[in-house]
Amino acid sequence: MNFNRQRHKVLKLLSVSRIQFDSGRRNIDFKLGVSFDDLQKELNCDLDTCELIYSTLYDEKEVEYTNTSVIGLILSQKGLKSYSEKKYLKENEKIIIDYFKNFVQIVIPILSLVIAILTIQLKIDTSNDKTNKKIENLQIQLNKQEQIINDLRHNY
């Protein structure tokens, strides 16, 4: 996921020199491309991680190796298009949305099940309370009836 943001950052860094080159707005010390050392410093990661980031860009033909004015990478036209369309940021958003969808698809049924179980338990508890109250009321009435019967026996 972070690699996609890093890829976008590489395209951004390379797009600056590509746009200057294409537009003709170049300084005297202009160099087409960005060196591997400068890219590594900007990405703030080790060489192996940088290679992982570059590999997709190479495969998609969005960057090319250069050793003319700098030893590093230059941006292709396809790479400039990917940068302007925010291809890798959109891929990153898609990954986040997919994770969220998967999370929701798992959590919502579990929460529904927990709520259903709690509702059933509450219903059972309420029903038991009502039944117990009815039993107590019947017991009280039974005791009153027994008292009346006992009173009638003693009086006659």
The one-digit pLDDT tens for each residue of the chain (156 residues) are 589 999 999 999 999 888 888 777 777 777 888 889 999 999 998 989 999 999 999 999 999 998 888 899 999 999 999 999 999 999 999 999 999 999 999 999 999 999 999 999 999 888 888 888 888 988 999 898 888 888 888 876
Residue 129 confidence (pLDDT): 84
- Give me the pLDDT at residue 9, please: 94
pLDDT at 80: 92
DSSP of the chain: -HHHHHHHHHHHHHHHHHHHHHHT---TT--SSEEHHHHHHHHTS-HHHHHHHHHHHHHTTSEEEE-SSSSEEEE-HHHHHHHHTTHHHHHHHHHHHHHHHHHHHHHHHHHHHHHHHHHHHHHHHHHHHHHHHHHHHHHHHHHHHHHHHHHHHHH-
Question: What is residue 1's predicted lDDT score, i.e. its pLDDT?
Answer: 58
Residues pairing with 74 in the sheet? 64
**In Å, how far from its chain's centre is CA 25?**
42
| Residue-wise DSSP of 29-45 | T--SSEEHHHHHHHHTS
Domains in the chain, CATH or no CATH each: 2-85 (1.10.10)
Residue 111 pLDDT? 95
Residue 154: predicted pLDDT: 80
